[in-house]
Structure 1
Amino acid sequence: MDATPDPPKRAHAPFIVTAELPGDVFALADGLRRAHFPPERNRLAAHVTLFHALAPSLRDELPRELARLAGEYAAPEAGIDGLMDLGGGTALLIRSAGMQAIRADLSACFFAMLTAQDRGTKKLHITVQNKVPRETAKALQSVLGATLEPRRFAFTGLGLHIYRETHWESLGVWKFRGQQRA
Protein backbone atom coordinates (compact mmCIF):
# COMPACT_ATOMS: atom_id res chain seq x y z
CA MET A 1 0.00 0.00 0.00
CA ASP A 2 1.27 3.46 -0.74
CA ALA A 3 -0.14 5.68 1.94
CA THR A 4 0.47 8.94 3.69
CA PRO A 5 0.00 8.39 7.41
CA ASP A 6 -2.59 10.21 9.42
CA PRO A 7 -0.99 12.60 11.89
CA PRO A 8 0.00 10.67 15.01
CA LYS A 9 -2.20 10.96 18.06
CA ARG A 10 0.85 11.67 20.23
CA ALA A 11 2.80 14.35 18.37
CA HIS A 12 6.01 13.67 20.30
CA ALA A 13 6.23 9.94 19.54
CA PRO A 14 9.19 8.97 17.32
CA PHE A 15 8.88 7.30 13.94
CA ILE A 16 10.45 3.93 13.17
CA VAL A 17 11.36 2.85 9.62
CA THR A 18 11.62 -0.82 8.76
CA ALA A 19 12.67 -2.94 5.79
CA GLU A 20 9.71 -5.18 4.98
CA LEU A 21 10.27 -8.95 4.76
CA PRO A 22 8.70 -11.38 2.26
CA GLY A 23 6.14 -13.76 3.77
CA ASP A 24 8.34 -16.86 4.00
CA VAL A 25 11.21 -15.04 5.72
CA PHE A 26 8.79 -13.24 8.03
CA ALA A 27 7.18 -16.58 8.99
CA LEU A 28 10.57 -18.14 9.79
CA ALA A 29 11.82 -15.17 11.80
CA ASP A 30 8.56 -14.53 13.63
CA GLY A 31 8.30 -18.21 14.56
CA LEU A 32 11.81 -18.08 16.04
CA ARG A 33 10.98 -14.84 17.84
CA ARG A 34 7.78 -16.29 19.37
CA ALA A 35 9.68 -19.40 20.47
CA HIS A 36 12.70 -17.65 22.01
CA PHE A 37 11.90 -14.03 22.92
CA PRO A 38 10.78 -13.65 26.55
CA PRO A 39 6.98 -13.69 26.11
CA GLU A 40 6.28 -10.96 28.66
CA ARG A 41 8.34 -8.52 26.54
CA ASN A 42 7.55 -9.76 23.04
CA ARG A 43 5.11 -7.11 21.80
CA LEU A 44 6.38 -6.86 18.22
CA ALA A 45 6.44 -9.17 15.24
CA ALA A 46 9.74 -9.98 13.54
CA HIS A 47 11.19 -6.93 11.77
CA VAL A 48 14.33 -5.27 10.39
CA THR A 49 14.70 -1.78 11.84
CA LEU A 50 16.41 0.79 9.63
CA PHE A 51 15.82 3.78 11.90
CA HIS A 52 14.77 3.65 15.55
CA ALA A 53 13.68 7.19 16.36
CA LEU A 54 13.05 9.70 13.60
CA ALA A 55 11.79 13.07 14.75
CA PRO A 56 8.04 13.68 14.98
CA SER A 57 8.58 16.88 12.99
CA LEU A 58 9.22 14.68 9.92
CA ARG A 59 5.54 13.62 9.88
CA ASP A 60 4.89 15.14 6.44
CA GLU A 61 8.28 14.76 4.78
CA LEU A 62 9.12 11.20 5.82
CA PRO A 63 6.25 9.46 3.96
CA ARG A 64 7.15 11.39 0.81
CA GLU A 65 10.76 10.20 1.03
CA LEU A 66 9.71 6.59 1.62
CA ALA A 67 7.40 6.78 -1.41
CA ARG A 68 10.21 8.28 -3.50
CA LEU A 69 12.67 5.54 -2.53
CA ALA A 70 10.15 2.74 -3.10
CA GLY A 71 9.29 4.17 -6.49
CA GLU A 72 12.91 4.62 -7.51
CA TYR A 73 14.45 1.35 -6.30
CA ALA A 74 13.82 -2.26 -7.23
CA ALA A 75 13.42 -4.71 -4.35
CA PRO A 76 16.90 -5.05 -2.82
CA GLU A 77 18.36 -8.52 -2.65
CA ALA A 78 19.35 -9.76 0.79
CA GLY A 79 20.34 -12.84 2.70
CA ILE A 80 20.21 -14.35 6.13
CA ASP A 81 23.89 -15.08 6.53
CA GLY A 82 24.18 -16.44 10.04
CA LEU A 83 23.64 -15.23 13.57
CA MET A 84 24.44 -12.03 15.42
CA ASP A 85 25.42 -12.26 19.08
CA LEU A 86 23.63 -9.51 21.01
CA GLY A 87 25.26 -10.38 24.33
CA GLY A 88 21.99 -11.05 26.12
CA GLY A 89 20.25 -12.13 22.93
CA THR A 90 20.41 -13.54 19.44
CA ALA A 91 19.55 -12.16 16.02
CA LEU A 92 19.55 -13.32 12.42
CA LEU A 93 22.27 -11.45 10.56
CA ILE A 94 21.03 -9.87 7.33
CA ARG A 95 23.37 -8.77 4.57
CA SER A 96 22.04 -6.47 1.88
CA ALA A 97 24.19 -3.94 0.06
CA GLY A 98 21.04 -2.67 -1.65
CA MET A 99 19.15 -2.00 1.58
CA GLN A 100 22.25 -0.40 3.06
CA ALA A 101 22.35 1.96 0.05
CA ILE A 102 18.67 2.85 0.51
CA ARG A 103 19.27 3.42 4.21
CA ALA A 104 22.24 5.67 3.37
CA ASP A 105 20.06 7.67 0.97
CA LEU A 106 17.42 8.22 3.66
CA SER A 107 20.11 8.95 6.25
CA ALA A 108 21.66 11.64 4.05
CA CYS A 109 18.24 13.24 3.59
CA PHE A 110 17.61 13.55 7.35
CA PHE A 111 21.17 13.45 8.76
CA ALA A 112 20.91 16.55 10.95
CA MET A 113 17.83 15.08 12.63
CA LEU A 114 19.18 11.57 13.35
CA THR A 115 19.82 10.33 16.86
CA ALA A 116 23.24 8.90 17.70
CA GLN A 117 21.72 5.39 17.49
CA ASP A 118 20.52 6.04 13.92
CA ARG A 119 23.75 7.59 12.58
CA GLY A 120 26.47 5.61 10.87
CA THR A 121 26.40 2.16 9.36
CA LYS A 122 23.92 -0.28 10.78
CA LYS A 123 24.19 -4.05 10.92
CA LEU A 124 20.88 -5.28 9.59
CA HIS A 125 19.32 -8.02 11.69
CA ILE A 126 16.13 -9.60 12.99
CA THR A 127 16.14 -9.99 16.76
CA VAL A 128 14.79 -13.39 17.80
CA GLN A 129 15.80 -13.20 21.46
CA ASN A 130 16.79 -10.33 23.75
CA LYS A 131 17.29 -9.49 27.43
CA VAL A 132 17.99 -13.05 28.48
CA PRO A 133 20.89 -14.43 30.56
CA ARG A 134 24.11 -14.78 28.55
CA GLU A 135 24.06 -18.56 28.96
CA THR A 136 20.56 -18.74 27.46
CA ALA A 137 21.65 -16.66 24.46
CA LYS A 138 24.76 -18.78 23.89
CA ALA A 139 22.69 -21.98 24.08
CA LEU A 140 20.28 -20.72 21.41
CA GLN A 141 23.18 -19.59 19.22
CA SER A 142 24.67 -23.06 19.48
CA VAL A 143 21.42 -24.74 18.42
CA LEU A 144 20.55 -22.27 15.65
CA GLY A 145 24.13 -22.11 14.42
CA ALA A 146 24.02 -25.85 13.74
CA THR A 147 20.69 -25.78 11.90
CA LEU A 148 20.26 -22.36 10.27
CA GLU A 149 20.96 -22.38 6.56
CA PRO A 150 21.70 -19.26 4.52
CA ARG A 151 18.60 -17.95 2.80
CA ARG A 152 18.37 -15.49 -0.10
CA PHE A 153 15.41 -13.14 -0.46
CA ALA A 154 14.41 -9.65 -1.56
CA PHE A 155 12.99 -7.01 0.75
CA THR A 156 9.47 -6.08 -0.34
CA GLY A 157 9.16 -2.48 0.82
CA LEU A 158 9.68 0.16 3.47
CA GLY A 159 7.46 0.39 6.55
CA LEU A 160 6.67 3.38 8.73
CA HIS A 161 5.58 2.99 12.34
CA ILE A 162 5.06 5.21 15.32
CA TYR A 163 6.01 4.19 18.82
CA ARG A 164 3.15 3.81 21.25
CA GLU A 165 3.61 3.08 24.95
CA THR A 166 3.50 -0.70 24.52
CA HIS A 167 3.74 -1.33 20.78
CA TRP A 168 4.41 0.06 17.33
CA GLU A 169 1.48 1.29 15.27
CA SER A 170 1.88 0.77 11.54
CA LEU A 171 1.33 3.92 9.50
CA GLY A 172 2.01 2.51 6.05
CA VAL A 173 4.07 0.31 3.79
CA TRP A 174 5.59 1.43 0.49
CA LYS A 175 6.32 -1.50 -1.85
CA PHE A 176 9.43 -1.41 -4.04
CA ARG A 177 8.47 -0.92 -7.67
CA GLY A 178 11.36 0.93 -9.27
CA GLN A 179 14.01 -0.23 -11.70
CA GLN A 180 17.16 1.09 -10.10
CA ARG A 181 19.26 -1.49 -8.30
CA ALA A 182 20.84 -0.14 -5.17
Structure 2
Amino acid sequence: MPDDHAPLVVTLALPDDVQDELDALRRRWFPAGRTAVGAHLTLFHAVPGALEGQVRADLEEVAGRGPVAVRLSGVLSLGRGAAYAVDSPDLARRHDELQRAWWAHLTRQDQQRLRAHVTLQNKVEAAVARQTVETLRGGFEPRDVEAPGFDLWRYDGGPWTHLERFTG
Protein backbone atom coordinates (compact mmCIF):
# COMPACT_ATOMS: atom_id res chain seq x y z
CA MET A 1 0.00 0.00 0.00
CA PRO A 2 1.44 3.43 -0.93
CA ASP A 3 2.51 5.76 1.86
CA ASP A 4 0.69 9.06 1.21
CA HIS A 5 3.20 10.84 3.44
CA ALA A 6 6.41 9.66 1.76
CA PRO A 7 7.52 12.06 -0.96
CA LEU A 8 7.90 10.96 -4.56
CA VAL A 9 11.04 11.50 -6.62
CA VAL A 10 10.94 11.72 -10.42
CA THR A 11 14.08 11.04 -12.44
CA LEU A 12 14.95 10.70 -16.10
CA ALA A 13 15.34 7.05 -17.12
CA LEU A 14 18.64 6.58 -18.94
CA PRO A 15 19.61 3.79 -21.37
CA ASP A 16 21.16 0.81 -19.56
CA ASP A 17 24.65 1.28 -21.03
CA VAL A 18 24.73 4.97 -20.06
CA GLN A 19 23.31 4.18 -16.61
CA ASP A 20 26.00 1.54 -16.05
CA GLU A 21 28.75 3.97 -17.05
CA LEU A 22 27.43 6.76 -14.82
CA ASP A 23 26.95 4.37 -11.90
CA ALA A 24 30.59 3.29 -12.23
CA LEU A 25 31.74 6.93 -12.18
CA ARG A 26 29.54 7.66 -9.18
CA ARG A 27 30.95 4.66 -7.29
CA ARG A 28 34.46 5.87 -8.10
CA TRP A 29 33.99 9.51 -7.10
CA PHE A 30 31.20 9.62 -4.51
CA PRO A 31 32.21 9.52 -0.83
CA ALA A 32 32.28 5.98 0.59
CA GLY A 33 29.06 4.80 2.16
CA ARG A 34 26.91 7.35 0.31
CA THR A 35 26.19 5.56 -2.97
CA ALA A 36 22.97 3.72 -2.02
CA VAL A 37 21.21 5.49 -4.89
CA GLY A 38 22.80 5.12 -8.31
CA ALA A 39 23.57 7.95 -10.70
CA HIS A 40 20.44 9.85 -11.61
CA LEU A 41 19.06 13.01 -13.16
CA THR A 42 16.49 14.28 -10.68
CA LEU A 43 13.58 16.20 -12.15
CA PHE A 44 11.54 16.50 -8.94
CA HIS A 45 12.91 15.89 -5.46
CA ALA A 46 9.79 15.76 -3.27
CA VAL A 47 6.34 15.58 -4.86
CA PRO A 48 3.76 14.82 -2.14
CA GLY A 49 2.92 11.12 -2.01
CA ALA A 50 -0.78 11.97 -1.88
CA LEU A 51 -0.48 12.99 -5.56
CA GLU A 52 0.79 9.58 -6.67
CA GLY A 53 -2.22 8.83 -8.89
CA GLN A 54 -1.94 12.16 -10.71
CA VAL A 55 1.85 11.86 -10.95
CA ARG A 56 1.55 8.41 -12.54
CA ALA A 57 -1.05 9.62 -15.05
CA ASP A 58 1.00 12.69 -15.97
CA LEU A 59 4.23 10.70 -16.35
CA GLU A 60 2.46 8.17 -18.56
CA GLU A 61 1.25 11.02 -20.78
CA VAL A 62 4.60 12.84 -21.15
CA ALA A 63 6.53 9.58 -21.57
CA GLY A 64 4.06 8.48 -24.23
CA ARG A 65 5.55 11.07 -26.57
CA GLY A 66 8.60 8.86 -27.05
CA PRO A 67 12.24 8.93 -25.96
CA VAL A 68 13.74 12.14 -24.64
CA ALA A 69 16.68 13.49 -26.64
CA VAL A 70 19.40 14.69 -24.25
CA ARG A 71 23.03 15.70 -24.63
CA LEU A 72 25.67 14.96 -22.04
CA SER A 73 27.33 18.29 -22.70
CA GLY A 74 30.14 18.81 -20.23
CA VAL A 75 31.57 18.49 -16.76
CA LEU A 76 30.01 20.79 -14.19
CA SER A 77 31.58 21.93 -10.93
CA LEU A 78 29.20 21.81 -7.97
CA GLY A 79 31.65 23.55 -5.64
CA ARG A 80 31.95 20.53 -3.37
CA GLY A 81 31.27 18.00 -6.10
CA ALA A 82 31.18 17.23 -9.80
CA ALA A 83 28.47 16.38 -12.31
CA TYR A 84 27.80 15.87 -15.99
CA ALA A 85 25.78 18.75 -17.41
CA VAL A 86 22.79 17.72 -19.51
CA ASP A 87 21.24 19.89 -22.22
CA SER A 88 17.84 19.11 -23.67
CA PRO A 89 15.13 21.45 -24.91
CA ASP A 90 12.85 18.40 -25.09
CA LEU A 91 13.44 17.52 -21.44
CA ALA A 92 13.01 21.17 -20.41
CA ARG A 93 9.59 21.31 -22.15
CA ARG A 94 8.37 18.10 -20.53
CA HIS A 95 9.68 19.22 -17.12
CA ASP A 96 7.91 22.58 -17.48
CA GLU A 97 4.65 20.80 -18.29
CA LEU A 98 4.87 18.55 -15.24
CA GLN A 99 5.94 21.49 -13.08
CA ARG A 100 2.84 23.46 -14.12
CA ALA A 101 0.58 20.48 -13.39
CA TRP A 102 1.96 20.02 -9.87
CA TRP A 103 2.98 23.63 -9.09
CA ALA A 104 0.75 24.24 -6.06
CA HIS A 105 2.14 21.14 -4.35
CA LEU A 106 5.85 21.54 -5.12
CA THR A 107 8.61 22.58 -2.77
CA ARG A 108 10.52 25.75 -3.56
CA GLN A 109 13.38 23.59 -4.87
CA ASP A 110 11.08 21.78 -7.30
CA GLN A 111 9.56 25.07 -8.48
CA GLN A 112 12.94 26.24 -9.76
CA ARG A 113 13.98 26.14 -13.41
CA LEU A 114 15.52 22.79 -14.31
CA ARG A 115 19.31 22.72 -14.32
CA ALA A 116 19.70 19.20 -15.62
CA HIS A 117 22.76 17.29 -14.44
CA VAL A 118 23.88 13.91 -13.16
CA THR A 119 25.81 14.23 -9.90
CA LEU A 120 28.90 12.02 -9.83
CA GLN A 121 30.42 13.43 -6.63
CA ASN A 122 29.05 15.57 -3.80
CA LYS A 123 29.87 16.73 -0.27
CA VAL A 124 33.65 16.51 -0.54
CA GLU A 125 36.27 19.15 0.16
CA ALA A 126 36.42 21.86 -2.52
CA ALA A 127 40.00 20.94 -3.46
CA VAL A 128 39.01 17.30 -3.97
CA ALA A 129 36.06 18.39 -6.11
CA ARG A 130 38.28 20.65 -8.25
CA GLN A 131 40.64 17.74 -8.89
CA THR A 132 37.72 15.48 -9.82
CA VAL A 133 36.33 18.08 -12.24
CA GLU A 134 39.76 18.44 -13.85
CA THR A 135 40.15 14.67 -14.20
CA LEU A 136 36.65 14.22 -15.62
CA ARG A 137 37.13 17.07 -18.11
CA GLY A 138 40.32 15.41 -19.36
CA GLY A 139 38.43 12.40 -20.66
CA PHE A 140 35.01 13.83 -21.40
CA GLU A 141 33.45 13.86 -24.85
CA PRO A 142 29.94 15.28 -25.34
CA ARG A 143 27.40 12.84 -26.71
CA ASP A 144 23.74 12.55 -27.56
CA VAL A 145 21.55 10.03 -25.75
CA GLU A 146 17.95 8.94 -26.15
CA ALA A 147 16.48 8.55 -22.69
CA PRO A 148 13.62 6.03 -22.75
CA GLY A 149 11.38 7.87 -20.29
CA PHE A 150 10.97 8.60 -16.60
CA ASP A 151 11.33 6.73 -13.31
CA LEU A 152 9.09 7.23 -10.29
CA TRP A 153 10.53 6.56 -6.84
CA ARG A 154 9.32 6.82 -3.25
CA TYR A 155 11.71 8.39 -0.77
CA ASP A 156 11.76 6.13 2.29
CA GLY A 157 14.16 8.15 4.42
CA GLY A 158 17.27 6.62 2.86
CA PRO A 159 17.47 4.47 -0.24
CA TRP A 160 14.64 5.10 -2.69
CA THR A 161 12.04 2.49 -3.64
CA HIS A 162 11.51 2.23 -7.40
CA LEU A 163 7.80 2.33 -8.18
CA GLU A 164 7.59 2.36 -11.97
CA ARG A 165 9.34 3.24 -15.24
CA PHE A 166 7.28 5.21 -17.77
CA THR A 167 8.30 4.85 -21.42
CA GLY A 168 6.76 5.73 -24.77
Residue 74 of structure 2 is aligned to residue 57 of structure 1: no
Provide the residue aligned with 1:170 in structure 2: 162
Provide the residue aligned with 2:30 in structure 1: 37
Aligned pairs (5 A) from 1:1-182: 7-8=1-2, 10-71=3-64, 73-175=65-167, 177=168
| Contact 2:103 2:111 (C-alpha < 8 Å) held by counterparts | yes
Any idea what the Cα deviations from partners look like across 1:25-49, whole Å, max 9, x if unmatched? 1122111000010121111011110
Q: What letter corresponds to residue 132 of structure 1 in structure 2?
A: V
Structure 1: which 4+ aligned runs deviate by more than 2 Å?
none
Question: For 1:38, what is the secondary structure of its paired residue?
Answer: coil
Q: CA RMSD in A?
A: 1.0
Shift of 1:137: 0.3
Distance 2:21 2:143 in 1: 11
Q: What letter corresponds to residue 120 of structure 1 in structure 2?
A: Q
Structure 1: 5+ residue stretches without partners: 1-6, 178-182
Once the two structures are aligned, what percentage of the paired residues are identical?
A: 33
Shift of 1:113: 0.9
Any idea what the Cα deviations from partners look like across 1:153-182, whole Å, max 9, x if unmatched? 11111110000122000000011x2xxxxx
Aligned length: 168
Shift of 1:11: 2.8
Shift of 1:19: 0.6
Any idea what the Cα deviations from partners look like across 1:126-151, whole Å, max 9, x if unmatched? 11000000000000111111111111
Any idea what the Cα deviations from partners look like across 1:25-78, whole Å, max 9, x if unmatched? 11221110000101211110111100000012202111111111112x121211
Distance 1:131 1:32 in 2: 16
Distance 1:34 1:77 in 2: 26
Distance 2:62 2:99 in 1: 12
Distance 1:95 1:157 in 2: 16
Distance 2:117 2:69 in 1: 14
**TM-score scaled to structure 1, two decimals?**
0.89
